Amino acid sequence: MTELMVPLAAPTGVARRIQDHRSSRSTARVVEAFSRVAGAMIAERPLDEVLHLVVDQITRLVGVRRGTIYLGDEESGRYQGRVGQDSRHHATDAAVRRLTMGLPGDRFTQEILANRRALVVARADTDERLFRYMVKAFGVRSIMGVPMLLRGRVIGIFTLDDEDRRHVFTDAERDIASAFAELSAVAVAQCRTTAELRESLAAQAKQNQQLRHAAAIDARLTELVVAGASLREVAQGITDLTGKPCAVHDAEHNLLVSASPPLGEPVVPRLLEPGVRDHPQVREALQRATGRQSVIVEPAPAIGLRWRCLVAPIVVREQRYGTLVLLEHGGRFTAQDTVVSRRAATVLALGLSAERRAAAAETDARATLLAQLVTGAADPVVATRRAEAVGLDPDHRRHLCLLAPADAATTLPDAHRVIDVLEAHGGRQTVACTVPDGVLVAVSAEGRTATDLLAHALPRLQLGGRVRAVVSSEFTGIRGFARAHAEVRDVVACVARFDGGGAPSVLSAERLGSARFFLRGMNRNDADDLIDRVLGAVLAGEQADQLITTAEAWFALTRSVRRTADWLGVHENTVRNRLERLEQLSGLAVRTDADAQVDVRLALLVLRMRGALAHLPDPWERAPDHDS
């Protein structure tokens, strides 16, 4: 570093002037003062320390009690106080740094800058070149200002005075002060160069350290990828690298995995929970987390967000796959946490992308198999082996659902979307494929009926137009797929034949039962004749809605008077009286004659599919214990 130093030798002209004034100042003292300042510069002392030494030496040599150094500001063109010393040789830096030279009207400074040489004011109290308030405030009686010249440029200004008393500045003192001012300029340049080199080296060292950290982070995360680590293992690796809890969410903000440091209670970031992510502060921050730009979300105690969160989007080819959330728990966020979050988001994106491609390939394989199974043409042995290969248990109890468009304007979702929505609502072993009739889905509805599952899922599918949704009876085995397909196609054909715009959103094959065989061969005229013959008088009566609702509930609830009464919320005798009234009006022994029951049930089904009963509650959809 010493090779970069500015030469320390005093200018030749200054040395000559000092030699000319040996009689006024001891040459030894001057040389000693120069040596001390030069020694501080060689020792690479801080700038303020060197400047204090300069002020101390110059005040002693000139024989004044107070000195101040102002350094130039290139942007403003003014000179700001930097260091100072009073009559007791005490530093006055705090007061000096509030002072500025070169303000408008400061003729004292202007003259120094114009002439580039020392300026002496013998009577400060009457000289108009000085600010009156400065003279009065600091008790200035006489003052000398000396420019600090470096390569012809004034980089600072010395001021020397005797504090509350006059001082007669001699030519020798002016020359010595000028020499020291030039030396101070060299000192300032040298110290600034040294400081810049130190800052550069420190920045380079810090950058190298960050690169080493980044390399270690990349190595650790790469190891996880190469080893085929699961999302949970990657999340734990992120927590190990940062020491902070983390959570990984999918594109719909559903929590996939979370991880916490091994010590203490597990902590799961709550940022993307429904009650938190909808808060305006959180929502605005999440909107800024676009592309690969991570953002900090500030705490919001009112909604349970106690710590800051670092949010990093998980993106592949501009497609958002999810979100990584780090929680500022156990320590403040550091630059390394930001690096880890960005690198980890990339690793997670690759992992989620690979999982999605694998899942899509498996889904496509299952869809192809389903399309073959419903035709009944596949060899059972080969089909069983293929089903097991794609993780589809052929002996699992399941239903077949068909989503068919009600008109040409209806748009259906793709098979992948149907699978996602059904599984989100509790569907298991879900397989879907697109067929000429619509979208066909095989699903196991654990804990609920398949009809109920489909009814809850339909609004989430964001269908365009009206859809006819039909559910088969439950089946198992490879051959059951073809039988279930025939069922749902028959039911859809029946609904299409009699649909008047108000058919149930979901219709089960069990609801139609064997009636589907009669309805399949019935035209609209036959249906009109059946309704008029069986229920004409009932529909014309005043109690039509009560009687129709009671009859539907009675058929839906296995012809049980007690269960029908419970569902309707009436007494059992009320049900019996209504059924008796239905028999009187229809002329049919509905409670005892099987043929009469078939006629009434067929008529009710046609009315329901036409939408004529849409204003009445549907017991097949709402009764918890019906046999569908």
345 class by beta-carbon count within 10 Å (0-12 exposed, 13-18 middle, 19+ buried): buried
* 6 and 190 Cβ atoms separated by less than 8 Å: yes
**Fold category of 374-513 in CATH:** Alpha-Beta Plaits (3.30.70)
Q: Provide CB contacts within 8 A for 212, sequence distance 6+.
A: none
Looking at 3.30.530.20, 1.20.1250.20, 1.10.3720.10, 1.10.10.2840, the CATH number of the domain 522-628 comes to: 1.10.10.2840
Crossing angle between the packed helical segments 47-62 and 27-42, to the nearest 10 degrees: 180
What pTM was computed for the model? Answer: 0.47
Between 68 and 252, name the one with better pLDDT.
68
Crossing angle between the packed helical segments 544-556 and 524-540, to the nearest 10 degrees: 120
Residues found in the chain: 628
CATH of domain 231-360: 3.30.450.40
pLDDT band for 498, please (50, 70, 90 cuts).
Answer: confident
CATH 3.30.450.40 in the chain, residues? 2-196, 231-360
User: Using one digit for the tens of pLDDT, what is the confidence trace for 352-410?
Assistant: 777 677 777 777 888 888 888 888 877 888 888 888 777 778 888 888 888 888 777 77
d(C-alpha 227, C-alpha 183), whole Å:
65
User: Using one digit for the tens of pLDDT, what is the confidence trace for 554-573?
Assistant: 988 889 999 999 999 999 99
**How much of the chain exceeds pLDDT 90, in percent?**
13
Alpha helices per DSSP H over 156-292 = 171-226, 231-242, 274-277, 280-288
E-state strands within 260-396 = 295-297, 309-316, 319-327
CATH 1.10.10.2840 in the chain, residues? 522-628
According to DSSP, residue 406 is labeled S
User: Using one digit for the tens of pLDDT, what is the confidence trace for 112-150?
Assistant: 999 999 999 999 888 989 988 888 888 899 999 999 998
The predicted structure's pLDDT at residue 336: 80
Q: What is the largest CA-CA distance in the chain?
A: 147
Query: What burial letters (b/e) apply to 125-149, b meaning 16+ CB within 10 Å?
Result: eebebbbeeebeebebbbbbbbbbb
* 350 and 316 Cβ atoms separated by less than 8 Å: yes
Residue 262 scores a pLDDT above 90: no
User: Using one digit for the tens of pLDDT, what is the confidence trace for 159-209?
Assistant: 999 988 899 998 888 888 888 888 788 878 877 777 777 777 777 777 666
CATH 3.30.70 in the chain, residues? 374-513
Please name which of 113, 138, 109 lies closest in space to residue 121, comparing C-alpha atoms.
109
Q: How far is CA 144 from CA 30, 161, 414, 572, 604, in A?
A: 19, 7, 89, 117, 114
CATH of domain 2-196: 3.30.450.40
Rg (CA), the chain: 46
d(C-alpha 125, C-alpha 139), whole Å:
9
Residue 500 scores a pLDDT above 80: no
The predicted structure's pLDDT at residue 580: 92
